[in-house]
Amino acid sequence: MILIIGATGTIGRPLVARLLQGGHHVRAFTRDASRLTPAPGLEVAEGDLDRPETLAPALDGVHTVFVLSFGPDALTQELAAAELVAAAGVRRVVKLSSVAAIEPAAGCYGVDHAKAEAAFAAAVPEFTALRPSGFMTNILQWQSTIAASGTVYQCHGDVPRAVVAPADVAEAAAVCLTRPGLHGRPYQLTGPEALTSPQLVARLSAALGRPLRYVETAPRDAVAGMVGAGLPPAFAQGLLDALAAPEPTRGGRPTLAVRHLTGRPATTFDTWLTRNLAAFRTAPLPLTL
Ligand SMILES: NC(=O)c1ccc[n+]([C@@H]2O[C@H](COP(=O)([O-])OP(=O)(O)OC[C@H]3O[C@@H](n4cnc5c(N)ncnc54)[C@H](OP(=O)(O)O)[C@@H]3O)[C@@H](O)[C@H]2O)c1
């Protein structure tokens, strides 16, 4: 039995689907079971990482765990989860981390991911950290300002980032969860080309066939925006520090890890865009970060 924590999210949904297609038995951990559609091979365990006592029963009979969490409490949640997987005798853990965890870790966001990686590595015999670059789906957050004024507001527009398709991350995770011998080293998952935000906007503009304007935002305004959306100031600043940090070794340059794990090249931004263009032509959807 494979337990998927974060089964209803951007990575978790395609990951669960892929594992079920492969004939694996999956238990999905969620705070709300109604978010998952019943399927053969799928069990749902309702629980909350903020209440670790709800994770313990979900680990019964589980040999492999995929773990992710996000937000200011992510480290606390994952440290508790690491203790529980060790106590349950879980053999393999694959953690969704971030390129921000690459030494020297970028911002408190990267430091927390690195600490959680270390805790899981000590907790189970086989641990794999997946360290993706920014997700291509992040640009769906631009929908509302594009719809309102054809404008994209971003900061650190000079920083190239080899953004990755979430489906590629999910496929790489499925491989690491189910194939032996892939533990003991992190995988830096990226897309096939490094692009700055103004370049992403230019590609989107060409695909939509309408002009879009890129406006460089001051980092303090970006932090204020995230705080306004409900994030604690220190966590918002940590996210922004990680965004500013890509370097060749930290998401700023494409890697071959997706190809190495999945056997096929990473999805290009243009291909992802073609598949998702409709989202920018309709009214903005309610988004989770
Ligand atoms: N976005 C990026 O560009 C990027 C890049 C690199 C790494 N990452 C990492 O990716 C992770 C986010 O993954 P994602 O995109 O799948 O997230 P997501 O789409 O926002 O989904 C979050 C998932 O976490 C679950 N969750 C949240 N709080 C929970 C709690 N208290 N107890 C149990 N489950 C909880 C949610 O499940 P329910 O709501 O169903 O309970 C949901 O399935 C973070 O660790 C982030 O650092 C993101």
Mean pLDDT of 121-136: 97
Q: Within 13 A of 164's CA, how many CA atoms are on the CB side? A: 32
From the CB of 8, is ligand 1 less than 6 Å away? Answer: yes
Sorted by where each starts, the structural domains of the chain and their CATH numbers stand as 2-195+244-281 (3.40.50.720)
Task: Read off the pLDDT band of 285 (50, 70, 90).
Answer: low
Q: What is the pLDDT of residue 164?
A: 97
pLDDT digits (tens, 9 = 90+) for 164-219: 999 999 999 999 999 999 999 999 999 999 999 999 999 999 999 999 999 999 99
Tell me the CA–centroid distance for residue 36 and ligand 1, in Å.
15
Tell me the CA–centroid distance for residue 126 and ligand 1, in Å.
22
Q: Within 13 A of 197's CA, how many CA atoms are on the CB side? A: 23
What's the whole-model pTM score?
A: 0.95
Tell me the CA–centroid distance for residue 92 and ligand 1, in Å.
20
pLDDT digits (tens, 9 = 90+) for 9-24: 999 999 999 999 999 9
Q: Detail the DSSP E strand segments found in the chain.
A: 2-5, 26-30, 42-46, 64-67, 92-96, 126-132, 151-154, 187-189, 213-216
Q: What is the pLDDT of residue 250?
A: 81
Residue to mutate, 36, 70, 117, 164, ligand 1, most ligand atoms under 8 Å from C-beta: 70
Diameter over CA atoms, the chain: 56
Query: Quick check: helix, strand or coil at residue 23?
Result: coil
Nearest to 10 by CA among 134, 112, 161: 134
Tokens coding 203:
């590609």
Residue to mutate, 3, 49, 55, 69, ligand 1, most ligand atoms under 8 Å from C-beta: 69
